Amino acid sequence: MSRREREPGVGPGTDNHRPGYGDDGTESTKSMTGGRYVLSLNERRLLAALAPLGRADASTLGRELGATADAVVQYASLLAQNGGLAVVERSVETSYALTEEGQRYALEGLPERQLLDSFTEKATMAELKNHPLASIGIGWLRRKGWVTIRDGVVEKAGNAPKGEDEQTLTSTILEDGPGLAELLKRGLAVERESVRYTVSITEAGEALARGGLDLREEVGQLTHEMILTGSWRETPLRRYRVDRLPRRLIPGKVHPYQRLLDEMRTILQDMGFVEMGGGLVQSGFWNFDALFQPQDHPAREMQDTFHLEGEAILPPGWERVRAMHEHGGETTSTGWGGTWQEAKARQQVLRTHLTGLSIQYLASHPTPPVKAFAIGRVFRREAIDPTHLPEFEQLEGIVMDEGVTFSHLLGFLREFYRRLGFPQVRFRPGYFPYTEPSVEPEVFVEGLGWVELGGAGVFREEVTAPFGIDHPVLAWGLGASRLAMLRLGLKDLRQLYRSDIDWCRETYIYPGRGGR
């Protein structure tokens, strides 16, 4: 089965390919009967090879020119564009072939046929299931009506003539039909397409070839010796057109969102931070309790948090966190009161933020100075809409050192946003269970106004004291996905996670300048 068609955009009268394009971006000219053709050397070579043949397939011409068939199609397409000197035809032939499994069944028979031949008139289902093809064959036996099954006994239902699928399976040539359709559906045959390109010379091409074609190799770069000796005057030079755009190249590149995440990572590393990591699954202890978040806080309920089966092991010294919640431990705090439940702390959850990684990092690095950050995915039970997703990326940062203050925190945030392309930053008071004082940073975006981008503050004593941390800890958590939306000018958060090839190709990102 085949079909033939003129290759789209490569015949006379089409303009999908700019006149003057050469495969190497160059041109040479030939005047004839008042016309002017812009041909590259490869186009002229193809025209010369095609003239005595009139019509030939791309593979034959490729052997003549020492080029690939794809290259010949490209040269011929340019000839078609440059005055209709050639015509390219594309034919597609469809064939069918048996898969490896189909070839085996062609010799041994389909599973249902082998299974049917394995017993005489009757057999028990238990006996039949011992056959290696029982899992496939029994269903097909029933579907084709070759057997009846009652009370665990399988009985043949008369003759079982070969169907169209079996006849097609053993035929020399696989032809389209119901039998082949069944084999394709069962994965016993596959469809294959072979594409063939044929190039024909036109009258204009023949006339140009008869007039003579300059097939000398062209020089694309002058040498010192050519200039000194003047030999360049007699050398065929490759001519370049500066009034034509080159063919667009679409290289592979990193997804725009990933590039922005990498940019954020680079900014923080340049500011002296080290990256910290941790698992997606965290215990309630690290995700909530260690951050002095009360156990009856609404965020710990099912409507906000994804809970998982199983229990986590609490770290050594967890009793100090329990004491902090119940009565404030050895600090001046009074805690939350009530009874702290160990079972609730052992619950496993998908992390709802990255701050749990920060306190774990501090617990293992209690001595200053500490400057660390994390960029990763977090999970919350959110309804999906243009600005909310149940999973998204956050950026978390902490600084611990002697004498650091709330002013240092604001300075770090201002500098980070400035380097990311948001020079106008302001802060408004906020509340978080684990920081005091707390702020919510906002950046100014043209056309949107002031946009809130996260939370920040100084860790409360109730957070740091159970882990022996005696110095101030500055902490912040920012919505990386929201930052990306602003930089990329998106109105739908879901765009960041779609495999939209056109969007990826067209999106440009300029570091620290807001992108396009």
Task: Record the tokens describing residue 446, joined without a space.
Answer: 């043209």
CA-wise closest residue to 459 among 413, 404, 418, 390:
404
Ramachandran angles phi, psi of 425, nearest 5°: -130, 140
Average pLDDT of the chain? 85
Angle between the 58-65 and 41-50 helix axes, to the nearest 10 degrees?
110
Ramachandran angles phi, psi of 86, nearest 5°: -150, 165
Would you place residue 487 in the very low, low, confident or very high pLDDT band (cuts 50, 70, 90)?
confident
Residue 15 has pLDDT above 60, yes or no: no
CA-wise closest residue to 119 among 108, 127, 111:
127
Task: Record the tokens describing residue 452, joined without a space.
Answer: 């809130």
**DSSP labels for 432-460?**
BTTEEEEEEEEEEETTTEEEE-EEEEEE-
The rounded distance, in Å, linking the Cα atoms of 289 and 462 is 10
**What mean pLDDT is predicted for residues 425-451?**
90
- Structure confidence at residue 24 (pLDDT): 42
The answer to whether the bond into 132 is cis (omega within 30° of 0) is no
CA-wise closest residue to 480 among 257, 152, 187:
257
Residue 499 has pLDDT above 90, yes or no: no
Ramachandran angles phi, psi of 201, nearest 5°: -90, 140
Would you place residue 516 in the very low, low, confident or very high pLDDT band (cuts 50, 70, 90)?
very low
CA-wise closest residue to 264 among 148, 120, 417:
417
- Structure confidence at residue 4 (pLDDT): 54
Cβ partners under 8 Å of residue 428, min gap 6: 439, 440, 442, 452
Q: End-to-end alpha-carbon separation of the chain, Å?
A: 48
The rounded distance, in Å, linking the Cα atoms of 200 and 51 is 9
Angle at 294 between CA 288 and CA 300, to 5 degrees: 55
Residue 492 has pLDDT above 90, yes or no: no
Query: How many residues in total does the chain contain?
Result: 516
Residue 414 has pLDDT above 80, yes or no: yes
Half-sphere exposure of 448 (CA within 13 A, CB side): 15
- Residues 221-277: tens digit of each pLDDT: 888 999 999 988 888 887 766 766 777 788 888 888 999 999 999 999 999 999 999
The rounded distance, in Å, linking the Cα atoms of 156 and 116 is 8
Q: Which amino acid type is present at position 357? A: L
- Structure confidence at residue 501 (pLDDT): 87
Burial bucket for residue 46 (CB in 10 Å: 0-12, 13-18, 19+):
buried
- Residues 121-137: tens digit of each pLDDT: 999 998 989 999 998 99
**What mean pLDDT is predicted for residues 357-376?**
94
- Determine how β-strand 370-379 pairs with β-strand 274-275: parallel
Q: Which amino acid type is present at position 30? A: K
Segment holding 494, helix H or strand E: none
Lowest mean pLDDT among 11-20, 143-152, 436-445: 11-20
pTM of the shown model = 0.58
Residue 30 has pLDDT above 60, yes or no: no
**What mean pLDDT is predicted for residues 109-114?**
92
Cβ partners under 8 Å of residue 126, min gap 6: 152
CA-wise closest residue to 382 among 303, 453, 308, 452:
303
Give the single-character DSSP code of 148: E
> Computed from CA positions of residues 213, 217, 222, 224, in that sequence, does the dihedral angle turn out positive or negative?
negative
Half-sphere exposure of 457 (CA within 13 A, CB side): 20
Ramachandran angles phi, psi of 180, nearest 5°: -65, -40
**What mean pLDDT is predicted for residues 398-422?**
93
Q: In terms of C-beta distances under 8 Å and separation of at least 24 residues, what long-range contacts does 298-305 make, across chains too? A: 299/352, 300/344, 302/381, 303/381, 304/352, 304/380, 304/381, 305/349, 305/350, 305/352, 305/380, 305/381
Residue 169 has pLDDT above 50, yes or no: yes
Would you place residue 510 in the very low, low, confident or very high pLDDT band (cuts 50, 70, 90)?
low
Residue tagged 């309920």 (tokens): 301
- Structure confidence at residue 400 (pLDDT): 95
Of 29 and 90, which is predicted with more confidence? 90
- Residues 281-317: tens digit of each pLDDT: 999 999 999 999 998 888 777 668 898 998 999 999 9
Of 171 and 39, which is predicted with more confidence? 171
- Structure confidence at residue 398 (pLDDT): 95
- Structure confidence at residue 78 (pLDDT): 86
| Contact (Cβ atoms closer than 8 angstroms) between residue 392 and residue 353 | no
Task: Record the tokens describing residue 445, joined without a space.
Answer: 């975006």
The rounded distance, in Å, linking the Cα atoms of 107 and 167 is 12
